[in-house]
Amino acid sequence: MSQVQRWGDEYDGVIAGAPAFRFAQQQVLHVYPAAVEHTLDYYPPPCELKKIVNATIEACDDLDGRRDGVISRTDLCKIHFNLKSLVGKEYYCAAETSSSLGFGFSKRQAPGSQTSNAPEQNGTITAEGIAVAQAIYDGVFNSKDERAYLSWQIGSELSDGEPTYDNETDKWTLNIPSTGGMYVAKFIELLGLDNLENLNNVTYDILVDWMNTGMARYYDSLQTTHPDLTTFKEAGGKLLHYHGESDPSIPAASSVHYWQSVRSIMYPKMSDDKAQKALSEWYQFYLVPGAAHCGTNTLQPGPYPQNNMNIMIDWVENGKQPSRLNATVSSGNYKGETQMLCQWPKRPLWKNDKSFECVNDKKSIESWAYSFNAFKIPVY
């Protein structure tokens, strides 16, 4: 996406999946779940967090009109589901060894990943665990209750919040994901460390200060949120932008916010309908129901785009403008099913087990809109 913003006349077509907008906010967000647990002084067993996520998926599954193991409407889940209703539900997980990169690849072993041994876990979801999950899903605020950043959609995996087990004390303890911790240590605090050593005296206000520092220091290189894409548009470029709705690394709302920024900057005097029509002629955005970071989701057997390149070639070379995005379900009871995804801001609503329509839902769309009033400058 940075290339579209900086060198728009160099590209005929660009396909961008789950782009990491607002690096200053995004990387600090990876530290936020640990900061929540540190602040609330409760480190939920990973199994408790997993139960909260899976129980949320179960509860919100059919809000989109079909029970298929996928939250296709996280907005409806956010509006209608109360996490507190999960208090008291039982959980159990066998002992295991796991690894995490700290940015959504919690099951993949790779250089730089963090390995931990987790004991057998059983218990019930606590009010403290729900408070942690709710705070994470709510996003980052300063002490004045001003919003600094958005967060992952409800029902997304909470892997950044999984603590470490201390075998000596038999307790769950602070775990700072290396992705966010390394960024803050090396590029904000300018320390020769690969991660933050602890979060002592780190408040939510400190998190916001880190974001402010990152914006000021790296605005022209890492923020990548320039919303004026006139050069790209006038050069005839086509942009296909998509994002997994349950991405546990880069929040789906991050992409929604950028789309809305482009719409407001490029077409400030148009009505919503006219602006959306004009924008869709060269820039289209799609949320992928249930999808994780840059791929399918083991927790939700939803669809995923398979032929974006063919769609882009047809759009650029043959003038065939898409109106919906082809995606295929690769697991679960509906494996092999083709779904034509809705172009934002329309949202899917299943009419029956076989078909859904793309609807305009003003209240749902508003649930994706954010104002970051913790900062004095606009955050596009």
Provide the β-strand partners of residue 116.
Answer: 98
- Average pLDDT of every residue of the chain: 96
Q: What is the pTM (predicted TM-score) of this model? A: 0.94
State mean pLDDT over 117-121. 92
Longest alpha-carbon distance in the chain: 65
Q: Is the pLDDT of residue 114 over 90?
A: no
**Among 336, 357, 338, residue whose Cα is nearest residue 346:** 357
| Residue 256 · residue 210 · CB < 8 Å | no
Question: Does residue 139 contact residue 208 with C-beta atoms inside 8 Å?
Answer: no
Predicted local distance difference test score (pLDDT) of residue 336? 97
Do 341 and 304 touch, CB atoms closer than 8 A?
Answer: no
Rg of the Cα trace of the chain? 21
Q: Residue range 312-329: average pLDDT?
A: 98
Residue 109 pLDDT greater than 60, yes or no:
no
What is the Cα–Cα distance from 350 to 362, expressed in whole angstroms? 18
pLDDT value for 52 = 99
Q: What digits encode the pLDDT tens for the residues 227-278?
A: 999 999 999 999 999 999 999 999 999 999 999 999 999 999 999 999 999 9
What are the beta bridge partners of residue 288? Answer: 244
CA distance 55 to 57: 5
Residue 108 banded pLDDT, cuts 50, 70, 90: very low
